Amino acid sequence: MGEVVRVVLEKLTRARVLFNGKGSDTLFKQDSFPTKYISEILRHGLVIIQLFCKINIESFSDESGSYVHMRDILDELGIDHYSFSDMLLLREVCIVVSRRSANLGAAAIACVLNRVRKPNMVVGIDGSTYKYHPFFDFWVHDKLKELVDPGLNFKLLQTADGSGKGAALITAIISRLKKREQQPQQQPQRQPQPQQPRQHMADGHVKVAMGENVEMKGSRKQPSSMNESQKVDLMINDMPTYDSFNGEVENAMIHLSNP
């Protein structure tokens, strides 16, 4: 997300819209604008006033020091020729890019929630952006209210070490599925059909007795006969939850830490 902001700033600078067209080698260098800069720029009282109270930010002076962090960041980027309007535009770019990122994340979450459609769903979220960005959580929730189907209950839960636990859970799921594949598939037992006399047709062909090729009730449809949508539904239903496989997750984490 920081790199997206940097690219926008570089284009605005080269177009002489920002910093009077005078950038710096650091600003024009790839990955020189980390995402943490965005959180630091937006974590200011005047931004909150503008977003939620709709007050014209330009009516405030900078005497309170609300832009101290932004000035420090501009100094780190090697930019010493900026105006108050440049700082306003920089902050606006951070808001637009951040909200775009939150909307994209919410869209992905909403697709999963609308597909799973189970009661009281919980989405675990981890990462420094979600944790430290002052508005990211609010924007994600706001967009989810718009995208998630009515009647579906969910909540977002910030998790610690979500990446490690997520990798362990995936490992546990894969291990479980492999064990299932290794087990010989049990064919459903067919009920013996009463012998029916074959009826010879006039042309010499044989008429097959009724019920001989009827599929047994309760037999599971094989993946080869499913369409893509049915395969996805089957995979979702077979996926274990964290609570039901907590022991497998812990064992997988131990395995990952001791390869």
Per-residue pLDDT at 51: 52
Q: Which residue has the higher pLDDT, 62 or 193?
A: 193
Amino acid letter, residue 177: L
* Category of 78 on φ-ψ map: left (φ > 0), alpha (ψ -120 to 50) or beta: left
Higher pLDDT, 77 or 60: 77
Residues 6 or more apart whose Cβ sits within 8 Å of residue 18: 9, 12, 86, 89, 90
- pLDDT interval class at 68 (50, 70, 90): confident
The most confident of the ranges 88-97, 165-174, 204-213 is 88-97
H or E element at residue 194: none
Could you write out the DSSP letters of every residue in 125-142? Answer: E--HHHHH-SSHHHHHHH
Q: What is the CA radius of gyration of the chain?
A: 30
CA distance 8 to 22: 15
At 251, the pLDDT band (50, 70, 90 cuts) reads low
At position 30, the amino acid (one-letter code) is Q
Confidence of residue 105 (pLDDT cuts 50, 70, 90): very high
* Those residues with Cβ within 8 angstroms of residue 223's Cβ, 6 or more apart along the chain or in another chain: 231, 234
Q: Which has more confidence, 181 or 216?
A: 181
Report domain extents, the chain.
Answer: 1-100, 104-162
Terminal-residue alpha carbon distance, the chain = 33
Calpha distance 93→149 (Å, rounded): 31
pLDDT band at 111 (very low <50, low <70, confident <90, very high): very high
Instruction: Calculate the CA dihedral of residues 138, 142, 143, 147 and round it to 10 degrees.
Output: 140
C-alpha pair distances (Å), 217 with each of 96, 189, 191, 212, 229: 56, 11, 11, 14, 22
Q: What pLDDT score was predicted for residue 93?
A: 95
Residue 162, both tokens:
């979500």
